[in-house]
Amino acid sequence: MRILHSVIQGEGPDLIILHGFLGMGDNWKSHAKKFAQAGYRTHRVDLRNHGQSFWDDEFSYDLLTDDLLNYMDHHEIEKTIVLGHSMGGKTAMHFACSKPDRCEKLIVADIAPRYYPPHHQHIIDGLQAISPENLKSRTEADQALAAHFDILGLRQFLLKNLYWKTPERLAFRFNLEALSNSLDMIGEPLSGTEQFTGPTLFLKGEYSEYVTLADHAIIQVHFPSARIETVASSGHWLHAENPEGFQHAVLPFINQG
C-alpha cells in the first residue's frame, strides 16, 4: 500500500492539512507550526501527484479520499480534524461526507461544494512550454516562467515545486501529465445526496470569487452545521495573504469542545 508523504509536528488531537492544486504540504509550514504550538498533532500531507508523494495516472476525489483513509489507518488515526484549501478543500468535503465517523471537524478554505469550470489550463500550458531538465538554475527557471506568468507570487508558488533531481538536473515535484489530464475532475461538485452534519467551518477570502453569497445555500444543503466566515484583506490564497486572520478564524473553531 502506498502512503502519502507528510511532515508531522506536535502532540495532541490530529489535524490533517490538505493543500490545493499544484501545491504541497510545505505551503502550510508556518500554519502547521502554529497549530502544533496550540496543542495539535498536525499533518502536512502531500496529495498524490504532488510534493513528495507517489505518482499515479489515476486522479479523482474518490481516490484522494481513499489515500487519506489509508494514511489515517497507517498512522493509527481513528478520527481527525481536516483542513483543506481549494482542491484540498474539495477532498476534505468528500472525505467528511463519505466517512463522517472519521471526521471530528471540517474546515474548508475558499471553495464550495459546487461545480467549477476548468480554469487552470493556462498554468498547465505555461508549465508544459518549459523544460526544467534544460534549466541550469532557479533564476533561469524564473525567467522561463516569466515568459508565461507575469505575477511574481504565482511564479514563486510554482518554483517551490522545483528541485534538483540530480546534481545537474532540475525537475518538478508534481506529476504534470497526470494533472493536465485531470483538469475537468478538479472542479467536480459533491453529489446531491452527500452530507456531513458535524462541526464545519467554511472560510472565504474577502476579495475571492470562489465562494459567493449564492453558494451559501448549497453549502448548507451538504453541511447543515456549517459556519461561513470571511477572512479580511485576502483573495483565494487567504491563508498566505492574511495568515493572522486565518489563524484567528480557525483556532477558536478547532478549540471549541
C-alpha cell at 130: 518549459
Residue type, 75: H
Asked if 200 and 220 count as a contact pair (C-beta separation under 8 A), the reply is no
* Cell numbers that stand for 126 in this block: 505555461
Cα–Cα distance measured from residue 86 to residue 186, given in angstroms and rounded to the nearest whole number: 9
Q: Assess contact for 227 and 201: CB atoms under 8 A.
A: yes
Of the candidates 43, 50, 222, 236, the residue annotated as catalytic is 236
As a whole number of Å, the end-to-end CA separation of the chain is 35
Indicate if 236 belongs to the active site: yes
Angle, vertex CA 6, rays to CA 114 and CA 49, nearest 5? 55
Residue 171 one-letter amino acid: A
Residue recorded with cell 490533517: 16
Query: Exposed/middle/buried for 191, CB within 10 Å: 0-12, 13-18, 19+?
Result: exposed
What would the grid cell of residue 255 be?
Answer: 478549540
Residue ranges with strand state E in 21-91: 41-45, 80-85
Catalytic residue (one of 86, 182, 208, 234): 86
Whether 86 is a known active-site residue: answer yes
In whole angstroms, what is the distance from residue 121 CA to residue 123 CA?
5
Report the distance separating Cα 171 and Cα 165, nearest Å.
6
Catalytic residues: 86, 236
